[in-house]
Structure 1
């Protein structure tokens, strides 16, 4: 066995980065996953002492209490890159350079990966290479002029108000109605809602506590409208007692799975005759944000409710729903159409 793997079995001091005890019991499992990743990399030909440095990198992720999903992303990015790297005839990662990374991007593009997926690989690889460069294991030149694929600047897709009314009108079971209305009125990501427990709900204040968000690992509070509260109360009276998650799964599953939630959404979209419009489950979150902005909510307030770390993410909805801009346009257009524009357009020579 690789010496680095043997040394990895010693006891390291894992310091939890976040204090939420609800998630800290995952640390032993994370250690086992790291051991598994190192063995796979060892089997693929990653050599000592590089594997020892990679071990140290993953240990740092566990100390920071990154989610298991994040560990998986880093591993898949590194493993896929290393297998490609070996196919170029280079077996030692110490010799990686910017040209290898550029070739890897072209390889992923040839494999028809979306730009967003390729950028995800790049973010993970740059984090790993940055760690290695700081230790002088690889050349720091690879961190200069970082590659990043240009992304299309797409607007979020919200569900039309008439379509929302039609969609809600065909949902006739307590569980599905509660699921859809809570998503629509809180703006929660589906992963956040499926991970929500009974103890996280405060009906008196009409709010739900998200201890650690599904995507950015930050906690926040979201609020529910009256219709969502009512639907949720009806569902909680009907569901089987003794379950800690709001939406328990079938059989031995603790909670409803994302694929099942997605199928339920598709089922009712079909029932409402809206399948052709391309709406997805995440469009409920976009609709939530768009409706609040249309109702006059400040951008900074919406940012906190959505859990966006960067307000530019929230500002996309302002481009979609800015009634002020719309009103200013038609006010100006009335003047133009009445022929009340003064002056001429010409250049002075």
Structure 2
């Protein structure tokens, strides 16, 4: 409503009465992420999916960690499988970004069929166009992967999961920041949801130091 009021004021030169209306506070932060076991099942189900554009796209989302549109709109001339890099000319924050591909990612890219009449990696049914957001296929893949509470697992959950799983398994937070192409570390920390096992490991560290401590060592 506020947007409509603003446009009406600009186009029709009438007072924007919606400007004085306060927005309701909302909490749209998503805390759900897929752990390593769930991620493996999703990737396995995605690579087995019938469409060889959509399946690899979803699998790579859970491996690379870039935004859905940043991967879906990639063209073959932006990917160098020999050097193992994928270039994104313009990301959400306005900068370019280079992603270094693992051997597993490269193998997935190699099995994606190339369509002569379509420059996009994930070619859609329309000539010269990429796939649209694969909502229906994603629901099927989540079902086949036996994902609990599948409504909580959206496409952006893949990006969240990549960051959380990397950090939970010892990856340096600054390296994850670089992978996600975040300008500030605070943005990366929003995705750093440590697994229960990692949290228990962290609390155990000091206890182990204490219980293994020998007071006689002071005199040595």
TM-score (norm 2): 0.77
Is the 1:201–1:207 contact (alpha carbons within 8 Å) kept by the matching residues of 2?
A: yes
Between 201-210 and 248-257, the greater mean CA deviation after superposition: 248-257
Aligned residue runs from structure 1 range 105-254, under 5 A: 105=22, 108-109=23-24, 115=26, 151=27, 154=29, 156-171=31-46, 172=48, 173=50, 174-213=52-91, 215-235=92-112, 238-252=113-127, 254=129
> Match for residue 311 of structure 1?
185
Give the helix-richer structure, 1 or 2.
1
Give 5+ residue unaligned stretches, structure 1: 1-75, 85-89, 116-150, 341-349
Residue in 1 that maps onto 2:171? 297
Q: For residue 288 of structure 1, what is the aligned residue in structure 2?
A: 162
- Whether the 8 Å CA contact 1:266–1:275 is kept in 2: the answer is no
Quote the offset at 1:253 in angstroms.
5.6
**Distance between the aligned counterparts of 2:188 and 2:144, measured in 1?**
32
Instruction: Determine if contact 1:183/1:193 at 8 Å carries over to the other structure.
Output: yes
Q: Aligned pair count?
A: 206
User: What secondary structure does 2:149 align onto?
Assistant: helix
C-alpha spacing 1:168/1:318, structure 2 compared with 1 (3 Å):
closer
SS of the aligned residue for 1:222 comes to: strand
Question: CA 1:223–1:298 in 2, change beyond 3 Å: closer, same or farther?
Answer: same
Segments of 5+ residues of structure 2 without an aligned counterpart are 214-220
Q: Check 1:78–1:276 CA distance in 2 against 1; reply closer, same or farther (3 A cut).
A: closer
Shift of 1:332: 4.0
The structural deviation recorded for 1:333 is 4.9
The answer (yes or no) to whether the contact 1:158–1:286 under 8 Å persists in 2 is yes
Displacement of 1:156 in angstroms is 3.9
Deviation at 1:79, TM superposition (A): 3.4
Shift of 1:335: 8.1
RCO comparison, higher one (Cα < 8 Å, 6+): 2
CA contact (8 A) 2:72 2:122 kept: yes
2: CA distance, partners of 1:252 / 1:157 = 36
For residue 183 of structure 1, report the CA deviation from its aligned partner. 1.4
The DSSP-based 3-state class of the residue aligned with 1:158 is coil
The equivalent residue for 1:80 is: 5
Kept after mapping to 1: 8 A contact 2:8/2:14: no
RMSD (CA atoms): 3.3
Aligned-pair distance for 1:321? 5.3
